[in-house]
Amino acid sequence: MTQFSPLYEGKAKIIYATADPDILLAAFKDDATAFNAQKRGSIQNKGVMNCAIASHLFRYLAAQGIPNHFIAQVAPNKMHIRRVEIIPLEVVVRNRAAGSLCRQTGLPLGLELNPPLVEFYLKNDDLGDPLLTGDRLRLLQIATDEEVARIKEMALAVNTHLSRFFAECGITLVDFKLEFGRSPTGEILLADEISPDSCRLWNQDESDPEKRILDKDRFRQDLGAIEDAYALVMQRVLAHSVS
Ligand code: ADP
Ligand code: MG
């Protein structure tokens, strides 16, 4: 495979061009960041584990009718993806209260949210990824009203499918962050990654509030055994069929 120079190096992945202008190569890194990159470190083997988990989940979601950018996993930590124009939003879906929702509202950790909460944050590290209101979203003209409605509908459908998938793995999907993009024909595609970096995942076999954590909160909170948690997620996800 010809090695192209990186188009973009982010916090978790390096994006390369390929010989096909519609296809990019995403290489997953072991680098870990939290709190808007104020905390930095490395999680051994994370690139390989997140690439395997994301590849499997994208295949599963495609089988459930969710259009996404995944084409194929081409190396342990690399996938081919369809190039999209990323919409600079972090779309967060929450099934239980955790993280910034608890800090900002006082809701207790783990409170069930029914219906699930869908939130839009501006994807801009310099501005600290602020929470947007509907009016601010419209003001910034980041996406049309039609696109925003489509993104919300897709995010909720992803939640329905992933919540069931993870429940069948003995894992509670607490919340997660998605990114979407526009294909060259204007179709909205689910993009970026779905991994323990971007989801809160609780092991249903553990009641202890620290032991049950299987995601990047172990890194954020210095809980240790981060690699083991990611490996457990990978093992259970890969053991689940993709259809
Ligand atoms: P970040 O530090 O911005 O979170 P990552 O390292 O996670 O970056 O990912 C690299 C970049 O790749 C991100 O800006 C992400 O939005 C972008 N990206 C993800 N999927 C696609 C795609 N299909 N086409 C183009 N860019 C993408
Ligand atoms: Mg990212």
**What is the distance in A from the centroid of ligand 2 to the CA of 113?**
25
Please state, in angstroms and rounded to a whole number, the distance separating the CA atoms of residues 116 and 157.
11
- What percent of the chain stands above pLDDT 90? 97
Q: Tell me if 24 CB under 6 Å of ligand 1.
A: yes
pLDDT tens sequence across 184-239: 999 999 999 999 999 999 999 999 999 999 999 999 999 999 999 999 999 999 99
The 10 Å Cβ neighbour count of residue 33 is 19
Query: pLDDT averaged over the chain?
Result: 97
CA-nearest residue for atom 21, ligand 1, is: 192
Give per-residue pLDDT as tens, 73-92.
Answer: 999 999 999 999 999 999 99
26, β-bridge pairs: 15, 79
CB of 15 shorter than 6 A to ligand 1: yes
* pTM beyond 0.85: yes
Contact 197, 37 (CB under 8 A): no
* Ligand 1 pocket, residue 212 CB under 6 Å: no
Q: How far is CA 26 from the centre of its chain?
A: 14
* Ligand 1 centroid from CA 232, angstroms: 25
What pLDDT shows up at residue 2?
Answer: 60
Decide: 83 and 23 in contact? Cβ < 8 Å.
Answer: yes
| Mean pLDDT in residue range 98-113 | 98
pLDDT of the residue at 243: 86
Is residue 3 scored above 80 in pLDDT? no
178 sits in which H/E element: strand 171-182
